[in-house]
Amino acid sequence: MTSTATDAPARTVDSCARVGVIGSGIAGASTAFALASRGVDVTIIDDAMAGQATAASAGIIAPWVSTSTGAYYETYAAGGNFYPAFFERLGALGIPDLGYRRSGALVVNNDPDTLAEAAVTIRERVTAAGSVAGEIHDVDAAELAELFPPIAPDMTGLLITGGGRVDGRVLRDAILTGASQHGARFVADSAQAITPSGGKTAGRGTWSVRTTSAMEDFDALVIAGGARSADLLDRLGHPVGIAPQRGQLLHLGLRGVNTSPWPTIHPLDHHYITPFDGGRIVAGATREDGVGFDVRATAAGTKQVLDDALRIAPGLAEATVLETRVGVRPMSTREGALPYAGAVPGADGLWLTSGFGAGGLTMGPLIGDGLARLILGEGAPEIAHLAP
C-alpha cells in the first residue's frame, strides 16, 4: 500500500490514539481487530443496515481458481496466503467457532478442452502458493460423483485440496469478538455526520462522528462502509469510485445428508456452489449493476441462480429452498478493479478500505492488517500496488 508521489505523507497515529471505524463487515472488522490487537483504542460504528456483503457472501476461500488476473489476482492470492496466520491469531483468543473448513475446491466443466486450458494457469498458481493451496489432482466423472454426489454426470474436473469455505457471518462475529477482547468498543448506531474537528492542537481528535445519540472525536477515522463508503466520502467532498452491485444467493437444504466434507464447486463461470455443514448448500450469485441499494430478492434473480446451479448439479433439484440472501458488493471502478486501501488524499487522518468486489472475505483480513500498520506508521508490505 503506497501513497502517490504527489500526495503529502499521511499523518499516522500511535498506539495510544483513538481510532473510529465506520462499518463492521469484513473490511471494518479486520481493520478494527488489527488495530485493537496493537493496543489502539478502537470504536466500531455500524447500524446493521440490510445488504452487508459479508453477511450474504458465498464464503469461498480459493483464490487460485479465480478468473481474475493482474494486480487484483495478486492481492486476492495474498489474501488467501494470509488466512492461516490470521486464523492462528483468532484461535489463540479461544474463540470457539471461526466458521471455516478446508474441504477443497473443485473446478468442473463438461468440455475437456476448456478445462485443460484453465488448468494450465490454475496449476501454476497452486504451485506458487505452496502448502496453503495444497495439492491439485485431475478428477474423472466417477470421482466427482463421490466428492460431490449432485454433480452432472458429464463433468470432469480439478481438485485443489487447500480450497476452503467460511461462513461470512460467523467469521465476522469472530473477528469482532477478537477485537472486543482486545478492548474495542462497538456502537450499534449510524454515523449521521462526519466532520473534521480541527482539534489537533487542542487535545481533541481530528475527526468528529455524530451518531443518533452522541458525538465522538477520533485521532483517525477509517471508512469501511462497503458500497456505502462512496456516499460517506462524497458528503465529505472526497468522491471515490465505488459502485454498488447486488448479489442474490440461494440457500438450499438436503435433509439427512452429510455435506460437511463436500468441496466448493467452480464451473469456470460467474456462479458457484458452496456446501456447508448440516446439509446446507449455497448457490449463487447474481451480479446486478445499476440497481443501487435495492436488497430485494427477485424472481429473475432466483431463476438465474437455480438455472445455473441445476445445470451443474442436477442432483440438487429436490433440495429445499431455505432462504435467499441479498448483499450489495462494493465494486471498485479503479483500473483493474483494485480495491481502495489507504489514506484519503487531502483529508488528514481519514482512511479508506473498500471496493473489494466479490473478493472481500479473502482479501479483507490481509488488507485490514496492512491498513492498521499504515495508520500506526509501521509500514505495510506491498500488496499488489494498492494505492490511496
Give me the residue spans of the domains in the chain.
18-375
- Do 23 and 225 form a contact (C-beta atoms < 8 A)? yes
Torsion of CA 376, 381, 382, 386, to 10 degrees: -40
Express each pLDDT in 196-234 by its tens digit. Answer: 986 544 344 589 999 999 999 999 999 999 999 999 999
Q: Which residues pair with 326 in a beta bridge?
A: 248
Instruction: Please report how many Cα atoms fall inside a 13 Å half-sphere around the Cα of residue 321, on the Cβ side.
Output: 12
Q: What is the pLDDT along the chain (388 residues), one digit of tens a residue?
A: 333 233 445 667 776 789 999 999 999 999 999 999 999 999 999 998 888 999 999 999 999 999 899 989 999 999 999 999 999 999 999 998 899 999 999 999 999 999 999 999 999 999 999 999 999 999 999 999 999 999 999 999 999 999 999 999 999 999 999 999 999 999 999 999 999 986 544 344 589 999 999 999 999 999 999 999 999 999 999 999 999 999 999 999 999 999 999 999 999 888 999 999 999 999 989 999 999 999 999 999 999 999 999 999 999 999 999 999 999 999 999 888 999 999 999 899 999 999 999 999 999 999 999 999 999 998 765 554 444 4
Q: What pLDDT, on the 0 to 100 scale, is given for residue 48?
A: 85
Q: What pLDDT, on the 0 to 100 scale, is given for residue 134?
A: 96
Q: What pLDDT, on the 0 to 100 scale, is given for residue 380?
A: 65
Nearest to 190 by CA among 6, 20, 19, 47: 47
Phi-psi region of 189 (alpha: psi -120 to 50; beta: other; left: phi over 0): beta
Q: Tell which CATH classification among 3.40.640.10, 3.50.50.60, 3.100.10.20, 3.40.718.10 matches the domain 18-375.
A: 3.50.50.60
Q: What pLDDT, on the 0 to 100 scale, is given for residue 203?
A: 41
Cα–Cα dist 73/69, whole Å = 5
Phi-psi region of 262 (alpha: psi -120 to 50; beta: other; left: phi over 0): beta
Grid cell 466427482 — which residue?
Answer: 144
Q: What pLDDT, on the 0 to 100 scale, is given for residue 51?
A: 86
Cα–Cα dist 9/311, whole Å = 52
Grid cell 477443497 — which residue?
Answer: 104
Q: How far is CA 238 from the centre of its chain?
A: 24
Grid cell 474436473 — which residue?
Answer: 157
What contacts 88, CB < 8 A, 6 or more positions away? none
Pairing of strands 220-223, 136-139: unpaired
Q: What pLDDT, on the 0 to 100 scale, is given for residue 175?
A: 97
Q: What are phi and psi of 312, to 5 degrees?
A: -85, -40
Q: What pLDDT, on the 0 to 100 scale, is given for residue 381?
A: 59
- Quick one: how many helices (H) and strands (E) in the chain? 8, 21
